[in-house]
Amino acid sequence: MLGYGLEVRRMKFSNFLFPSSLTAADDGRIIDETLQEARLTDTLGFDTIWLAEHHFDGIVAYVDPVAFAAALAVATSHCRIGFAVAQMALHHPIRLAEQVALIDHISKGRLIVGLGRGTAYNIYDYQGYGIDHTTAQAQFEEAEAIMFEAWKGEAFEHHGRFFDLKLPELRPAVFTKPHPYVIRAAATEHGMMEIARRGNPFMMNVQSNAVTAQRMVLYRDTLRSIGLDDATISARMDECWVWRNVYVAETDAEAERIAVPAFIAMHEHRVAMRNRIYAEQKASILPMPPAGTAPPAHQSVEHALVYGSPATVAEKLAPLKATGVGGLIMQFRLGPMNYEQTAASLTLFNDKVIPAL
């Protein structure tokens, strides 16, 4: 191993299955197509398939990443399967610990347990489960600690703020020892710093390239400040992931024609229920932005969408590789885009963009 930043490193490429379904009548078809997309991703040899969790609005057609991960554990053979993320406020920790242990066995250790407190945007996710969103972070911290304890396979009791538990033993025992791989998501710099101070890797949501680079520098410096050596820092950075929306076509013009309208429609769908609930209840997690406010990075075509010919996409993604981050979480199916367009983009990325990177 050479000094940090000098070793030859292969970036990891993944597919984030985040399929929207505009109406309930579309749900079954979109779910079937998402399984088909997962099988293609596995056949092409991508490193990981990521799954999201959103409820009641069709933003994610399959809704539940845990149940869908079990299906993918059977439908695929090679890709790792990750949550990006399971909303911990909506899950009982013992039930989730059991489910994870089961999928860990079915997948033979391919599961990545990506965890987060819960959505920072959609209050109706919490309302539908009868959960107070203001306690979500505290509940997340307690639940995660319970799962780690349960995976030890021993009897234990827990008497906390949210859970009062007594169990003799968790079954099935986990396949991956001492427990399945766990990683946290961080939507903010503050959240990233909290993870870095523990010496752990993290998943970053969509940010501009400048913010992504800045956070990776800050992450590396924080790891060094807690006493980690260069080899360990390099290994931790290699476990970190950043998210972008990606569309590849034969030409830049064709990619723009398909990807840009699909990306815009996708975000219009994502905010529609949020706006409706606010109009009905005047309830939201974050303050609603005033009319005319510039969109955040994750809604911006400039910062969140990487599209073009294979050469153009490789050029646009090169700065992310330069940050030292280990992997790209890429959403290929955008909003109303059909399966055939998605499959073509995914295949072009595999055949022509990955070799260029």
Quick: pLDDT tens for 320-342: 999 999 999 999 999 999 999 99
159 phi and psi, to 5 degrees? -130, 95
Flag whether 257 is in a domain. yes
Q: What is the pLDDT of residues 143-162, one digit of tens each?
A: 999 999 999 999 999 999 99
Q: Helix, strand, or coil here: 144?
A: helix
- How confident is the model over 183-215, as pLDDT tens digits? 999 999 999 999 999 999 999 999 999 999 999
- Domain count across the chain: 1
Q: Which domain holds residue 252?
A: 12-356
Q: Is 2 contained in some domain?
A: no
Does residue 316 form part of some domain?
Answer: yes
Q: Is residue 4 in a domain?
A: no
Q: For the domain that residue 320 is a member of, what is the CATH number?
A: 3.20.20.30
User: Is 5 inside a domain boundary?
Assistant: no
Domain-embedded: residue 132: yes
Count of alpha carbons within 13 Å of 353, Cβ hemisphere only? 33
86 CB-side CA count, 13 A = 29
Given a contact cutoff of 8 angstroms between Cβ atoms, the answer to whether 18 and 52 are in contact is: yes
The confidence score (pLDDT) of residue 43 equals 98
Cβ contact 306:242 at 8 Å = no
Residue 7 placed within a domain: no
Query: Which pTM does this prediction carry?
Result: 0.96
Is 318 part of any domain? yes
Q: Which pair of structure tokens corresponds to residue 152?
A: 């030890």
